[in-house]
Amino acid sequence: MFKVSLRSLLSHKLRLVLTAISIILGVTFVSGTLVLTDTIRNTFEGVLSNVDKGVAVQVKGPAPATAAGRLSGASLPLPESVLAQVRKVSGVADAVGTVERSGVSLLSNGQVVGGTDQRTLLGLNWVSDPQLTTFELTSGTAPRTADDVVINARTATDGHLVVGQQIQVSFEASAAQTFVISGIATFGGQNSIASEGFALFTLPTAESLLEANSTFDVIDVSAQSGVTDLQLRDRVAAALSGSSVQVQTGAQAASQTEQNAVTEINLFIGTPLLVFAFIAVFVGSFLIANTFSILVAQRTQELALLRALGATRGQVFTEVITEATLTGIFASVVGFLVGIVVADGLIHIFSSSAKLSVQLNALIVSLLVGTIITVIAAVAPARRATRIAPVAALRQAEPEIQGLPRTRIGAGLVLFLGGTAGLLQSLFTASAAAGPNLEVLGLSVLAIFLGTALLAPILVRPVATVLGWPARLRGAPGRLAGENARRNPRRTALTSAALMIGLALVTAVAVITASLEASINQSIDGTVRAQLVVLDEGSGGFSPEVATTLRQDPKLADISEIRGTDVLVGDIATGVTGFDTGNIGRVLTFSMTAGSAASIATTTNTTIVDSTEAASENIHVGGTVTMTFANGDKVNMSVGGIYTPDALISGFLVSLDTLNPHLTTARDADIALNPAPGVSLPTAQASLLNDLRAYPQLSGLTRTQYKNLISAGLNTFLNLIYVLLGLAIFIAVVGIVNTLALSVLERTRELGLLRAVGMTRGQTREMVAWESVIIALLGAVLGLAVGSGLGIALVSALHSDGISQTAVPGNNLILYAVAAGLFGIVAAIFPAIRASRVDILRAVTTE
Amino acid sequence: MPPLPAAAAAISIAARTVDAVKVYGRGDTAVRALDGITADFTAHQFTAIMGASGSGKSTLLHCLAGLDRLTAGQTFIGGYELGQLNDRQLTLLRREKVGFIFQSLNLVPTLNALDNILLPLTIAGRKPDPGVVDGVVQITGIGDRLRHRPSELSGGQQQRVAAARALVSRPEIIFADEPTGNLDSKASGELLGFLRKAVDDLGQTIVMVTHDAFAASHTDRVVFLADGRAVQEMRSPTTDSVLAVVRHLGE
């Protein structure tokens, strides 16, 4: 039987390719993601194996008190005195302290240097001991004077910077200072540190510029020969006992860094990409199921002949499954290889120095995913094949006209309702702290999609009738197209369902972003009273110096710094935001449900909290919460009021006076302000922008501009989603091509008959195109409905978190439907041409 | 519809072939399916084309009907020379002037009987004449099955629907390719009777390929083919006279 499967596959190469395309594309996504993340990880590991080779022991400050549940490895600064203590430990060959802080900007001609991903650099001091540094100069010299800086190779290339050139340097928007580029360096051969740039200074410059205040972030220690890393670690730890510093061997530190990096790569790149890859494969599985169903129907005679010749049902099942397995393996291997090419291309775009890492793991996962999905999708068609009676071999094979598959519709209803229940349960019973259970959420959405796909055949008839109306007006081609779309509801539905998934996800995201935008706009119009805001579009914090500068501008008033930090409230990690309470009424208004917002202005160590947080943590006005700050300070705050959260303002709020004593470094997140009395908004903004010329990282925006900035950000996000879901939609379009091409093949005789009785080639093409449009629009209708439902459910679940507005972006939805119709026309091109070229004679002769 | 080439045949001739040659394949494998046939098919007559398998009878019908093209020679329908028409013109000619009845699978499975009957008019975007439709439906006797899909009709009923479809656009000529090939003798008799009536009562022209002497006996004239040539003709055929010629040709 294996031979039969193989022959059958090879004798229909076009069919094989059409079937395999959806799986190839899905597996490409999977393999591309795996190779990409492996490569990033590998590059990073390669660098790290260089990094700490000379470092025997690494000393860091105590972990922040707020670190519970966060990435491990964060630390507070170490007092300078620790370095002297470490140097005295016996067995220490050398010990150097390093200051390393991100937030350095290079400015040139009043502009920030570097692409968007390199806006800020990591600032460090140059270490001259070659044992204890990973930085290697590629040109120029190490920083020797206070105004020397060494920058990473990538930043130099991107910014067209050369050794000897003057450059302005600013740390978190402090006043820029002029430096000279003394050299260009790599980090263990890489032109950046995991895509972040760096700037190296002399130690005194780093300490003052990076505001280290006589502290180090890390002390690296090398060992004298004969002393093992472990021995030295224990000796250093013993010498520093009493302080809560962290002491690790170089290897431990490296593995911790590596682990953090891997976690971060998976969190921000690997997992999201794999989710989208999974969606693509899932969509592909619909097409596989559909294609095999059609193939089984078309091969009825052949399979019946096998049965007539004595093949058992089991053998027929095995035959179809074997064919699916071979297709799956073929498609997976091709997809795997294409994925490598795609990953290679992406890596070259982002960083030329990385070496492609193709792991056996990626091959195994790609093969398993592609093959298993194909086989699972082929099970139902294979079972149908076993029910073909041997006598069918003697009948003329004709395209069947099917009724509604009742058992499937029952199953679809159960899946759809179960999925909906699971979705609502996971969204609305989730605790505020833990958030919804993502596994339940994901499985519920999956169940809704499968349920809708199984229910869709019911909708084929009415939707095809309604959508068929304009087609009907076009005469016979439109009329026949409508009939063709309805003749096999299962096939039409499954083909549409593939498109539905991509469109539903796009729609859901569009609903969420539109709701977010509406909610933020409402917040800006309702809560925010300030007419101007200053912020870093790169979203970093900035020096309070900026506010000081603005306070000297007579055209501006109500300068209010907004500053946030991580805290533990009880044992829950959250954030607290500090305000200039002096201007609070003119900058922000709160809608209080209890107590008063003024309480934080009048009394220190008082906080107000949003009603959702208050409810979930059982906080009441007049009660007390204990806040633990990063530096370990524990403060009892009395609760002065409870307010309704909105999209911008939520969580614990305190006065700056309450917050400042507990901050290691004070950084503003935003500054809210107003024109001075009697000054018009344009005049005030012009003056603000003039003040900000010294800080090109910062923007001074009106409320309208702020809204536009947020819209632009959300649109960028939506565009990213379009790109990521584009593949799933593309696969679905390929699915329409596939279904139509197979249908055309199946209806050869009928098409020939139509041509014989006078249908022109043009009318034939038109007929196929209309059918395609009907399939695509059915997918669009389902997708928009399911997607809007999903989006509205998710937004409703976020109502209590301040996403108070539910917005369905009608224009986007119309656009998606129109796009789907166009996809339908594009998908029809190839099958329509085939249909119009049907050989009439072959169609009408019986032999 | 663009103007068709000028008429070249007498009014009383519905279709004609002149020195028709059709060669399939090339070189050693070439088969001359038609080897210089010249034949006229008179209007308002029922003509049968007979011959053994491979005699070229189906090929002749296909070429006459504009479904296939000759290698050499000419065919005419209602004065148009088919060889000079492009695909679109041929399609329009089939739509306007030609009706078809095939051996089986004559109907579009998604359409009910009535829609199948009206299909050529729908494709042409023409409004059906209710009188004509009623008349055709009445003659074929499928009035009670009009809302049924082809899969719900018997073989005989399907062929009668196909015949009604061929008639409803009032074509100049109907080509029938073994229309009774898949029918039992009762259904065959009914269909042939109906075709006969279409010629006698409606003045229709029908050319039918058949290998069945009983079917041929319903026609006005039989043209016998052998090896791609017209070898004999018979007027007012009977089953016995046709069988005699078939036997003679077989020797």
Q: What is the pLDDT of residues A97-139, one digit of tens each?
A: 999 888 888 888 878 886 555 578 889 999 888 888 888 889 9
Asked if residue B86 has pLDDT above 70, the reply is: yes
Residue in chain A lying closest to B65 (CA): A756
Amino acid symbol at A348: H
In this structure, what are the phi and psi dihedrals at residue B12, rounded to the nearest 5 degrees? -80, -10
Quick one: pLDDT at residue A550?
Answer: 92
- The length of chain A in residues reads 847
Of the candidates B95, B109, B122, the beta carbon closest to that of A401 is on B109
Q: Using CA atoms, how far apart are residues A356 and A342, in angstroms rounded to an integer?
A: 11
Within 8 A of A753 by CB-CB distance, chain B residues are 102, 105-108
Task: Name residue, tokens 């094989």.
Answer: A16
Q: Give B155-218 as a DSSP string.
A: HHHHHHHHHHHHHHT--SEEEEESTTTTS-HHHHHHHHHHHHHHHHHH---EEEE-S-HHHHTT
A39: nearest Cα among A348, A368, A365, A369: A348
Quick one: pLDDT at residue A847?
Answer: 47
Instruction: Identify the helix (H) or strand (E) that includes residue A384.
Output: helix A360-386
Quick one: pLDDT at residue A263?
Answer: 81
Going along chain B from its start, the domains and CATH numbers come out as 44-66+89-250 (3.40.50.300)
Instruction: Identify the helix (H) or strand (E) that includes residue A79.
Output: strand A78-79
A280: nearest Cα among A128, A483, A498: A498
A362: nearest Cα among A25, A36, A45: A36
Structure tokens at A746: 């199946």
Asked if residue B9 has pLDDT above 50, the reply is: no
Structure tokens at A811: 């224009």
Quick one: pLDDT at residue A693?
Answer: 86
Asked if residue B111 has pLDDT above 80, the reply is: yes
Question: Which of B180 and A571 is assigned the larger pLDDT?
Answer: B180
Amino acid symbol at B44: H
Of the candidates B88, B104, B123, the beta carbon closest to that of A757 is on B123
B5: nearest Cα among B105, B103, B74, B98: B74
Mean pLDDT in residue range B136-147: 83
Smallest Cα distance from B242 to chain A, Å: 25
Asked if residue B98 has pLDDT above 80, the reply is: yes
Half-sphere exposure of A712 (CA within 13 A, CB side): 7
Amino acid symbol at A510: A
* A272-277, long-range: CB < 8 A, 24+ apart: A272/A724, A273/A29, A273/A33, A273/A36, A273/A37, A273/A724, A274/A30, A274/A33, A276/A29, A276/A724, A276/A725, A276/A727, A276/A728, A277/A26, A277/A29, A277/A30, A277/A32, A277/A33
Q: Minimum mean pLDDT among A79-93, B97-111, B162-176: which range?
A: B97-111
User: What does the DSSP 8-state code read for residue B181?
Assistant: T
Amino acid symbol at A739: T
Of the candidates A480, A483, A760, the beta carbon closest to that of B91 is on A760
pTM over 0.95: no
Quick one: pLDDT at residue A802?
Answer: 78
* Residue B17 contacts residue B73 (beta carbons within 8 Å): yes
Q: Do A749 and B100 touch (CB under 8 A)?
A: no
Helix, strand, or coil (residue A12): coil
Quick one: pLDDT at residue B4?
Answer: 40
Residues of chain B above pLDDT 70, percent: 95
Within 8 A of B124 by CB-CB distance, chain A residues are 758
Alpha helices in A178-299 (DSSP H): 203-209, 229-239, 250-265, 271-298
* Residue A743 contacts residue A294 (beta carbons within 8 Å): yes
Structure tokens at A174: 């402090």
**ipTM above 0.95?**
no
Of the candidates A483, A756, A758, the beta carbon closest to that of B111 is on A483
Q: Do B181 and A846 touch (CB under 8 A)?
A: yes
Q: Minimum mean pLDDT among A277-281, A466-470, B29-33, B177-181: which range?
A: A466-470
Within 8 A of B96 by CB-CB distance, chain A residues are 758
Within 8 A of A475 by CB-CB distance, chain B residues are 122-123, 125
Q: Using CA atoms, how far apart are residues A799 and A199, in angstroms rounded to an integer?
A: 44
Angstrom distances, CA of residue A343 to CA of A35, A38, A39, A298, A362: 6, 10, 9, 38, 12
Within 8 A of B58 by CB-CB distance, chain A residues are 845
Angstrom distances, CA of residue A66 to CA of A321, A435, A571: 55, 20, 9
| Residues whose CB falls within 8 Å of the CB of residue B197, separated by 6 or more in sequence, listed in order | B139
Return the biggest CA–CA distance within chain B: 55
* Residue A500 contacts residue A779 (beta carbons within 8 Å): yes
In DSSP terms, which residues pair with A627 in a beta bridge?
A569, A635
Q: Which residues of chain A have pLDDT under 70?
A: 1-6, 8-15, 47-53, 67-73, 114-118, 194, 350-354, 392-404, 430-436, 471-474, 538-539, 846-847
Structure tokens at A376: 């699972």
Within 8 A of B91 by CB-CB distance, chain A residues are 755, 758-761
Q: Do B91 and A753 touch (CB under 8 A)?
A: no
Task: Name residue, tokens 């009383």.
Answer: B12
Angle between helices A271-298 and A438-473 (to 10 degrees): 50
Return the biggest CA–CA distance within chain A: 102
